[in-house]
Structure 1
Amino acid sequence: MNAPHRLAVLVDSCLLPTVSGSGDRLPDWILHGLERGTPGAAVDAGCAAAARRAARALRAALPGALAGHTGPRPAVDGTAAAAELVASGANLHLGVRPDPAPGATGAFVTGLQAHGVAAALGPFTGAGGLRPFAEGLAAGVRAIAVGHAPAPGGDGRPAVLSPAAVTGTLRGELGFSGAVMSDALDAPAVVEGWGVPGAAVLAWIAGVDLVRLGPRSGSGVREAIHAAAARAVTDGDLPLARLEEAAERVARLRRWASEPRTPVAARRPVTRDA
């Protein structure tokens, strides 16, 4: 595989586009990305039936794809949330919010992931209390989503673009080794300051693994991200090894989320000899 093609595959492997609407066919630009390594998509659908159709189309194009969803509202416990998400075809909960009540975040993550739905806990900014995130880590949370709010003690840039927040606090202080995601990069606070392509590159440099593209992103944005990443690699700002590391973490997340699992209620209890 030549170097430009390898870079293109790595970039696609670290992008999570958003599927909008209720059609049974995915947009061509998303299909092309799935053929090149994109691990799945977030599903932005107005009802459960539409979400199921989008998830079916996604898995028809890529068996074992990540199918992200923001989860049920109002909030329910992790087991109930997992049941609803599984019914809609999702295997990645994009909207797991940290709960300040002691033990609540860990319990939610445990209940959710016991049913094979990966939790993306966030938004993480490095500010405020870190206890819910520490609880999530102790419960084995598979992903953490970094948000758009400014990182503490920085230059005002969003946490998702801050090496201090991602590599320093999340990776270093908390010791998280799973997949780090971005919140959707088409938020005004990001677009107005850096544009989606520039923000994607800065997020990877900061230590983010999986860049989430919002529903307003399309084929032109994907192509611009590829061009921005190529420039950053050529200039030495974005090491290829950083993208390789990110792609491997995303691949681990996808493998975990696509593993077949026995429903929790059907599992036999573990017995020990007296």
Structure 2
Amino acid sequence: MNAPHRLAVLVDSCLLPSVSGSADRLPEWILRGLERGTPGVAVHTDGADARKAAQALRAAAPDALAGHPGPPAASDGSTAAAELVAAGANLHLGVRPGAAAETTRAFVTALQTHGVAAALGPFTGTGSLRPFAEGAAAGVRAITAGHAAAPGGEGRPAVLSQSAVTGTLRGELGYGGVVMSDVLDAPDIIESWGVPGAAVLAWIAGVDLVRLGPGSGAGVRNAIHAAAARAVADGDLPMGRLEEAADRVARLRRWASEPRMPVAALRERVVPLEA
């Protein structure tokens, strides 16, 4: 595999695009990305539309990550897992740290026992780090780096801060799983760095999986590829950093595709997510 193609595959392997609304088929640019390594999509819809999007994703890539923001008021991890499995999701994108650190550990453990990976966040490196330490101890599969300014990050949000991601999260807390970005097409990110520039800075900071919101389409994806190619050529973004990120994402994808508690047992417990 030549270097430009290898780089393109690595970039696609470290992107999580989003879909919203009702559709029986994913956009063509996402389907092409899935063929080249894109690990899945984030589904920003509920009820029948969420199940339809998950079915379209699985038709293209049976082992893909199907992310979802999660039920708004699930009382525990098992209930959240039941609703997400019914919606076709295997990645909970909205796991918030509990008021008590032990609550975070219990929620993450119950959720992941049923095969739904937890993305805990937002992590900013400020406030109490204990919920994230408890989540890491529980084997949380992903932690989301947020938009709030990180301490010592030169005014950058945590998602673009090497001190927050590599220093505090990886170093101080010893976390070895996937670090995911919060959606990068937020107004403050776009205004200061643009989505392509922010994606490159996120990878440099130590983020593995860059999450795009529903407003980012094929043009943004192509611009990210161009920005990554420039950063690699300039020596700012080592290929090894992307290879490390892609490997972590691949391990998350394999974990999420493994069967655990029978789906039927979960579906009997609660009514599926509805719009």
* Alpha-carbon shift at residue 63 of structure 1 (Å): 1.1
Question: What per-residue deviation string (whole Å, max 9, x for no partner) do you get for residues 26-82 of structure 1?
Answer: 00111111111100000011x311100000000101111000001001232000000
Mapped pair 1:229 → 2:225: no
Q: What secondary structure is seen at the aligned counterpart in 2 of 1:19? A: strand
Q: Is the 8 A contact 1:7 1:230 kept in 2?
A: yes
Partners in 2 of 1:28 and 1:20 — Cα distance? 15
Identify the residue that residue 188 of structure 1 maps to in structure 2.
Answer: 187
Give the secondary-structure state (helix, strand or coil) at the position aligned to 1:154.
Answer: coil
| CA deviation map 1:128-153 (0-9, x unaligned) | 00010011011110000000000013
Residue 270 of structure 1: aligned partner? none
Aligned counterparts of 1:239 and 1:127: Cα–Cα separation in 2: 28
Q: Which residue of 2 aligns with 1:177?
A: 176
CA RMSD of aligned residues (A): 1.2
- Report sequence identity in percent: 80
Q: Kindly indicate whether residue 138 of structure 2 is the aligned counterpart of residue 134 of structure 1.
A: no
Could you report, residue by residue, the CA deviation over 1:55-113 in whole angstroms, capped at 9, with x for unpaired residues?
00001011110000010012320000000000000000000000121410000000100
Give the AA of the match of 1:179.
V
- State the Cα distance separating 1:265 from its structure 2 match: 10
Residues paired across the two proteins, number: 265
Question: SS of 1:253's equivalent?
Answer: helix
Aligned partner of 1:272 in structure 2 is none
Query: Is the 2:68–2:94 Cα contact (8 Å) retained in structure 1?
Result: yes
**Matches of 1:96 and 1:228, distance apart in 2:** 31
Q: Is the 1:10–1:247 Cα contact (8 Å) retained in structure 2?
A: yes
Residues in 2 aligned to 1:29 and 1:107: alpha-carbon distance in whole angstroms: 38
Q: Distance in 2 between matches of 1:22 and 1:258?
A: 24
**TM-score, length of structure 2 as denominator length:** 0.95
Q: Does structure 2 retain, via aligned residues, the 8 Å contact 1:179–1:253? A: yes
Range 151-160 or range 109-118, more displaced: 151-160
Distance (Å, rounded) in 1 between the aligned partners of 2:189 and 2:85: 31
Matched, 1:71 2:73: no
Question: TM-score normalised to the size of structure 1?
Answer: 0.95
Q: Is the contact between residue 114 and residue 264 of structure 1 (CA under 8 Å) also seen in structure 2?
A: no
- Conserved in 2, the CA contact under 8 Å of 1:197 and 1:225? yes
Q: Give the whole-Å Cα distance in 1 for the aligned partners of 2:179 and 2:214.
A: 20
Q: Does 1:42 align with 2:24?
A: no
Alignment-mate amino acid for residue 115 of structure 1: H
Q: Which residue of 2 aligns with 1:244?
A: 243
Distance 2:218 2:98 in 1: 36
Residue 215 of structure 1 aligns with an amino acid whose one-letter code is P
CA distance in 2, matches of 1:256, 1:126: 27
Q: 1:148 to 1:27 in 2, by over 3 A?
A: same
Within-5 A mapping of 1:1-274? 1-45=1-45, 47-263=46-262
